[in-house]
Every structure is written in C-alpha cells, then in structure tokens.
Amino acid sequence: MPTSASSWRAPQLSRRFIPVWRRNFLVWRKLALPSVLGNLADPVIYLFGLGFGIGMLVPEVGGVRYISFLAAGMVCYSTMNAASFEVLYSGFSRMHVQKTWEAIMNAPIDLDDVVFAELVWAASKALLSGAAILLVISAFGLVDTRYVLWLLPLIFLVGLAFAALGLVMTALAPSYDFFMYYFTLFITPMTLVSGVFFPIEQLPPALRTAATLLPLTHAIELARPLLLGRLPENVALHLGVIAGYGTAAFWLALALTRRRLLK
C-alpha cells in the first residue's frame, strides 16, 4: 500500500491518457443519442417549465425576461450534472464494479493517466451537454448570440471542475448509494443558492456570502452576461475560483484513488 506521502505526490501525467479517453468515447458512441437526449431532457424541462410558468408571474429579472435569465443557469446546471453523473456512476462502475481501471493498468499506463482520462472524458461529455442546451436556447431566440461561442471553453472548464469534485466522491464511495449524500448535501443546495433560478442578491447576507464561495456561482457569473450579450466583470477572479476548485479536487481525488487501488 502506498505511504501517505507517496499518495499525495504531484500528479504525473502523460499523453497516455488519450487512449483511455478514446476507449470511453468509443463505448459511449454506441449509445450517443440516448445519452445526449437524457442529458438534455432535464434542463430543457426546467427551462421551459419554469421559464414560461414563473415567467408569467415574474415577467423580468434584472431587466431581461425570466426565461432568458434562467437560460444561463440551465447551461451551467446541465454542465455540472453531466460531469458529475459521468464520474460518479459511470466512473465508479469502471473503477469498482467492472474493474476496468485495473484491467487498463495491466498495460503500460499509470493510475494517474487513467484518473486524468476520466476527468477529461467527463468534461468532454459536459461540453456536449452544455453545447446542446446552447443550441436549443439559441434556436428559440432566448440569448444574444454575440458572445455565445465564448461559452464553449467556459463549459469545458466548469465540466473539469465538477468532474474533479465528483472524482473525490468516487474515490471514497463504497457503493452507488453513497452518491445520494453528495447530491442531497452539496449539489442540490448549491443549485438553489448559486443564481440558477434567481439572483443571489435576494439571499440573506450570510447565505449570499456562502454562495460566493461556490464554483457554480462563479460559472453563472461568467455565463449569464455572455448569453445576454455583455462582457462579464471580474473574469480573472471567477476563472481562478473555478480552476482552483478543479485543481485542488483533482489532486485530492488522485491521492484518495491511489490509496484505494494501489495496495
């Protein structure tokens, strides 16, 4: 079993993660259409259900139609969910149930590359999911398309951050049931206070301060102005927080995974 110090050593990455990423892509490609539709359905239902329902009661939020305000939240929400579900349920299956990771490591590929491939693959799926939502809301004229392409690298970065957070849970989980704690105690409360459905300025001061520490808040602070045809403020701060979460969580996830698998 690796020592505590060796588990926490810096990630040692190489281009060997690419074949692992490609392996995941080839498996997913067989079920690509149901996968994309599944990731698309939930945020689209929220978007049009709440957008037209609550939008009838609250015509404008922040000077724009409520459904347009909600659209940016749904892009980030979809990205977060796609990345999280991939590393939690599919990633856990490959790591623990199917023993796919162990089989891959019989080849000249280190665990660091396998975990990094899972991270990048989950972010890639999140990019597809977020881009699909962008396509839908653009087709319905809910956004200003002036800066819409700038959302694509942001979506990928957000996918990396939430994939890294999810990998921490994957490394700790004894079973699939464990993930309910993560969604119930972290993902759902964060979704409710990060500005997805309403401006965080409406929150009590203490809760508003807590919301500014969450990665989803910073993702939305960047995404919403871009979708409304404006340039966001404090770009470096928001990007730094998102990247910081992703970097720290990936290092933690890798250390926990080393301790779990390299016995």
At residue 37, what is the residue type?
L
Residues 62-87 pLDDT 10s: 788 888 888 888 999 999 999 999 99
Global pTM reads 0.92
Q: At what angle do helices 235-261 and 151-172 cross, to 10 degrees?
A: 30
Residues 77, 196: contact at Cβ < 8 Å? yes
Q: What is the residue range of 95's domain?
A: 4-261
Q: Please tell me the distance from the alpha carbon of residue 246 to that of residue 243, in angstroms, as a whole number.
A: 5
Per-residue model confidence (pLDDT) at position 32? 74
What is the count of structural domains for the chain? 1
Per-residue model confidence (pLDDT) at position 263? 67
Q: Please tell me the distance from the alpha carbon of residue 16 to that of residue 139, in angstroms, as a whole number.
A: 39
At residue 254, what is the residue type?
L
pLDDT at 2 over 70: no
Q: Please tell me the distance from the alpha carbon of residue 241 to that of residue 32, in angstroms, as a whole number.
A: 32
Q: Is 92 helix (H, G, I), strand (E, B) or coil?
A: helix
Residues 81-136 pLDDT 10s: 999 999 999 999 999 999 999 999 998 999 999 999 999 999 999 999 899 888 88
